[in-house]
Structure 1
């Protein structure tokens, strides 16, 4: 008889099968994504940190190595800290520091490929709230229905736009 692996907390399969007397936290996000840089952008981050150390090589190679390592670490931390989080939680759509009640949003639309390129390029909406990352090649657009809000829509990069749209629709139905 083989031993069953220990359940991993936080995974959907194990959370659903869990017989815990405590229900899931009401503030648990129904969708959460951090728009981290792509692998190519990480290479640039490390290269920029290395260049800082390279400048000091003529003075002292040991000091240059230390400065390069510290600079790379700082660059990585900054890249993670400045990557916005897209989340849908408790009837609110969070995008970085911005947030809006899902009841004030229209029907979200998934945009990929040519549609996405047009929306962030030639069909750019100056009154829309944009959170677009060049290394993410898909996203969503959702109209803002509040008449007093000068923002016409939210345009959001997402690596999983279908999941984000599903989370928004679910939150809108529950609201």
Structure 2
């Protein structure tokens, strides 16, 4: 008897929320200005030292900001290291810039799970149906909100149908 092959990972949606192109030169410019200020303010310092320290530091500070991944796979909605089983997704709303601003504004629920990037104008709001979880919804930035919402709803409906079917109960 041969062992079964491992289950194949099905990626329904995946994106990386990287930084816009202009963030890199802007941060390098700020680092260069600070290095120049230090060079002029502390003449005892070797002129190259502030540049050698601050420019790589500026780049290192940006790297984690551009590594956020959003995915729907293996029955879970993954946002960075947070995981939400799709069977607890009640509804998903694609938000444009105005909708995102409203969802994150004054009326936002204090226990909502929010992962937003200010340089990405659109998002999804994922409404939850989990009595054991006090979190009412997730708001997650995405560049493709309609695609993510459609995928998440479809995968969630399949998971709920599989969970609620009589064959699954036996």
Same fold (TM over 0.5): yes
CA change 1:114–1:73 in 2 (3 A) is: closer
| 2:27 corresponding residue in structure 1 | 45
- Pick aligned residue for 1:166 from 137, 150, 153: 150
More strand by share: 2
TM-score (norm 2): 0.75
Where does residue 98 of structure 1 map in the other structure? 82
TM-score scaled by structure 1? 0.73
Which runs of 5 or more residues in structure 1 are unaligned?
Answer: 1-24
Q: Deviations over 1:35-65 (max 9, x none)?
A: 2223444344323433453354232223333
- Aligned counterpart, 1:27: 9
Mapped to 2, the partners of 1:69 and 1:107 lie a distance apart of: 44
CA distance in 2, matches of 1:84, 1:159: 12
RMSD: 2.2
The alpha-carbon distance between structure 1 residues 103 and 159, as it changes in their structure 2 partners (threshold 3 A), is same
Q: State the partner residue of 2:125.
A: 141
The structural deviation recorded for 1:131 is 0.8
Aligned partners of 2:28 and 2:65: how far apart in 1? 10
Contact 2:35 2:50 in 1 (8 A): yes
Structure 2: segments with no counterpart, 5+ residues: 1-6, 160-170
CA deviation after TM superposition for structure 1 residue 28, in Å: 4.5
The answer as to 2:60 corresponding to 1:74 is yes
Which has more radius of gyration? 2
SS of residue paired to 1:31: strand
Alpha carbons of 1:60 and 1:32: their partners in 2 closer, same or farther (altered >3 Å)? same
Q: Which residue, 64, 73, 82 being the options, matches 2:50?
A: 64
